[in-house]
Amino acid sequence: MKITVLNGSPKGERSDTLVMTRAFIEGMGRVCPTEVITVHAAVANIEYCSGCFACKHNGGKCIHDDDMTGILEDMLSSDLIIYSFGLYSYGMPGALKNLLDRTMPLSSWNMYRDTEGKYGHKFQYDVSRMRFMMICGCGYPNSKHNFEGAVRQFELKYPDNCGIITVPESPMFNIPQAAQFVSPRIEELKDAGEEFAKNGALSDETMKKICSPMIPEEIYAKFANGERH
């Protein structure tokens, strides 16, 4: 299975969220061989979308000649695209949003309207085998009143075949002293990856487990605020 990871963290390899994403992919690897390509959006050479819509009228060719050409090729040849990012201002970090905008060449000019009245552009390539996943960490200990904007954007963008994992308290993934609380979650994420590779979806039970805080909200908040006693 070919997987393209679009890493939105400006911290690159040091991303907290990437620890989760890698665990998930490792679990998938228990079921099938995986080929993983990781794009670090913050250092890739990606111009802003110019909004010209030229890509919709000339067979998906963008006016910009930059790293996005290769990234789109990788996406199109992948079975799974993972948007991996830490929550920034209740949404995705700017570099990843810029990359997302530049996926415009993948869809055609024609709009469709779904049964609920939502409009969107249809893909102009066969993406029927492709799955889209968002794996998102965040610095606050709460999920409610925090992840909603990013989750809704992803659901609207990829209404078919999308999976969403959100995990609060994610800076703990890169704090060695937190290992005892983090290690079980990493194992759960590996198991979740295995489940996803087997079933193509995650059960409600698994989602509840992996998306919960790793330590109680109040204790995390106290530690984060420097109140250790």
| Residue 113 CB neighbours (<10 A) | 9
Task: At 182, list the tokens.
Answer: 């983090």
Residue 179: HSE in the Cβ half-sphere, 13 Å Cα cutoff: 2
Q: How far apart are CA 143 and CA 167, in angstroms?
A: 8
> Applying CB under 6 A, does 213 fall inside the site for ligand FMN?
no
Task: Specify the residue, 7 or 107, whose C-beta has the smaller distance to ligand FMN.
Answer: 7
CA distances from 185 to 33, 75, 162, 188 (A): 23, 28, 22, 5
> Applying CB under 6 A, does 146 fall inside the site for ligand FMN?
yes
Q: Of residues 83, 140, 196, 220, which one binds ligand FMN by CB under 6 A?
A: 140
| Residue 47 CB neighbours (<10 A) | 14
Task: Specify the residue, 36 or 138, whose C-beta has the smaller distance to ligand FMN.
Answer: 138
State which residue has the least CB distance to ligand FMN.
86
Q: Are 12 and 43 spatial neighbours (Cβ–Cβ below 8 Å)?
A: yes
> Applying CB under 6 A, does 11 fall inside the site for ligand FMN?
yes
Q: Of residues 27, 137, 163, 193, which one binds ligand FMN by CB under 6 A?
A: 137
> Applying CB under 6 A, does 87 fall inside the site for ligand FMN?
yes
> Applying CB under 6 A, does 132 fall inside the site for ligand FMN?
no
> Applying CB under 6 A, does 170 fall inside the site for ligand FMN?
yes
Q: Kindly indicate which of the ranges 64-72, 133-141, 193-201, 219-227 contains the residues binding ligand FMN, using the contact rule CB under 6 A.
A: 133-141
Q: Kindly indicate which of the ranges 34-42, 53-61, 135-143, 183-191 contains the residues binding ligand FMN, using the contact rule CB under 6 A.
A: 135-143
Q: Are 151 and 164 spatial neighbours (Cβ–Cβ below 8 Å)?
A: yes
Q: How far apart are CA 53 and CA 50, in angstroms?
A: 8
Q: How far apart are CA 221 and CA 175, in angstroms?
A: 15
CB of 31 to ligand FMN, least distance (A): 25
> Applying CB under 6 A, does 94 fall inside the site for ligand FMN?
no
List interacting residues with ligand FMN (CB under 6 A): 9, 11, 15-17, 86-90, 137-140, 146, 170-171
